[in-house]
Structure 1
């Protein structure tokens, strides 16, 4: 049973996957796809800023914040502000409430591509954000299988792009395939029943501690959900390396490990434009989806999670727990190009 569902919007369609590993042509209205993605992004800025400001105020006040993740917003904002103030940021800007693109992202990606862990990998999972675009390009250029999540997991699950089985992926199309639209155009959507082994995970970060491997994302929690679902699929385990690429200014030393949540994903290796850091992290990696931490709002936002929950409940005959309610931060909004 394939748990993936095609886009429900009537304005654009991703065709069936077929059994031939993705060589069938994919019907995609690219302008409609991009417009829908930007429409969802446009729900973001004000609500995200209000949520982070509220939590930072509570944390600064010394009281018990409603959200146990409130301290994370203080670190995120400091890094975002620094990147903008010193022009370490690259488009899309502003970088607030994003995995920030940064000056030297391609250099950091090149260092990542030189890692033994990358060189020996056959399948690499890479986040869809701008600073990791060059990592996606290197993955496909090296003939490796690329696994990338569909935006915000709201319309599907993962897309797999395999140069070995997809004749439409060639030197003239690989760069396009590294974009969100290109991944939908050239990728094959997969479901939770897909038999796939991921050899390396590349993850975006807002801040990361080089001494502990503790990492902060932009606050939406999708990287953690993606990791948990890959664990459920048996695609990864504790030994699967997790790598991030960041600017040197995103290296911090004040992430309190004791305040991390059970689903927070630590990193094993950090690549910056100037160096490679092996963290030797001792932070346990998540073992799957922690349903008792997953809010009804997040569950309602991600269709593939709802289907996974129904599947497990049907198989076990037991109702899974649900976490406390939360006000979800929306996704970031891009500035319109002039």
Structure 2
């Protein structure tokens, strides 16, 4: 599948996902090497959603679009390359929902409300970091999320047709599947990312399966790419395909599944099998 939620874990932690899909493992290694060789990575890039030179410009490109202007509720991954986006969202007065890195807390999200942060004298620059966001945000469960106007996910590699992969943990597609199960993500809600231009690869390099969520837009330091993706978006989560380590490592996941199924939510088609990463 792909990922989103986390990049603050150590390399040893994130390396545990290698081996689930060898083709995507090889592609991720290629991208991380390219960022290092071109000296456009910021900080360590391997085994994580890599930060890059020009992340602020990529964020500027997204912030110049009508979909950003019109979005009152934004979900954005907690990774370093998206700090400029989270900061822009707060200064623009948007309600910002940030996933807890790797869903490792009893709650999956924090709400970063710029009005509340200002009233508590928490700087937006601090709140825009993953650590600051978790420390100063308001804990939120999946069911408490409002309908999302815009979804930003972290990526290691992308294509011009909307293909994507993260660092291999499967978090983003699980997250997006739950959004759809709960009616938090409409069919027209844009799914976007910001990456370095060297992270954009040929479509044939990144195979998309039926349970993978595709991107609508990709923003780099050089261009804005509307994908007009040909890939159909999944409808939800295939819970029988969620990996045992996901239930083990995500404290609330089993309880959330029970709540969704008791509520009669339609069963979807996205899982976290090894093929999906």
Q: TM-score, normalised by structure 1?
A: 0.72
Size of the aligned set, in residue pairs, is 266
Change (3 A) 1:225 1:324: closer
The residue correspondences of 1:205-224 to structure 2 (distance < 5 A) are 205-210=155-160, 212-224=161-173
**Does residue 271 in structure 1 map to residue 224 in structure 2?**
no
Contact map agreement 1:264 1:286 (CA 8 A) in 2: yes
CA distance in 2, matches of 1:169, 1:126: 22
CA distance in 2, matches of 1:324, 1:183: 27
The secondary structure found in structure 1 opposite 2:119 is coil
What residue is the counterpart of 1:130 in the other structure? 80
The secondary structure found in structure 2 opposite 1:201 is strand
Contact map agreement 1:209 1:251 (CA 8 A) in 2: yes
What residue is the counterpart of 1:232 in the other structure? 181
CA distance in 2, matches of 1:255, 1:309: 34
**Does residue 84 in structure 1 map to residue 36 in structure 2?**
yes
The residue correspondences of 1:279-298 to structure 2 (distance < 5 A) are 279-298=227-246
Instruction: State which of 103, 110, 119 in structure 2 corresponds to 1:168.
Output: 119
Q: TM-score, normalised by structure 2?
A: 0.87
The secondary structure found in structure 1 opposite 2:245 is helix
What residue is the counterpart of 2:152 in the other structure? 202
CA distance in 2, matches of 1:312, 1:138: 33
What residue is the counterpart of 2:198 in the other structure? 249
What residue is the counterpart of 2:108 in the other structure? 157
**Does residue 178 in structure 1 map to residue 128 in structure 2?**
yes
CA distance in 2, matches of 1:312, 1:109: 34
Instruction: State which of 94, 114, 126 in structure 1 corresponds to 2:64.
Output: 114
Q: Give deviations 1:237-264, integer Å, cap 9, x for gaps.
A: 221001110111011004456x423332
What residue is the counterpart of 2:27 in the other structure? 75
CA distance in 2, matches of 1:148, 1:204: 12
The secondary structure found in structure 2 opposite 1:303 is coil
Mind listing any 5+ residue stretches in structure 2 that lack a counterpart?
1-6
Name the stretch that deviates more: 226-235 or 127-136. Answer: 226-235
The secondary structure found in structure 1 opposite 2:193 is strand
CA distance in 2, matches of 1:89, 1:262: 31
What residue is the counterpart of 2:94 in the other structure? 144
Change (3 A) 1:315 1:230: closer
The secondary structure found in structure 2 opposite 1:244 is strand
What is the deviation of 1:78? 0.7
The secondary structure found in structure 1 opposite 2:90 is helix
What residue is the counterpart of 1:96 in the other structure? 46
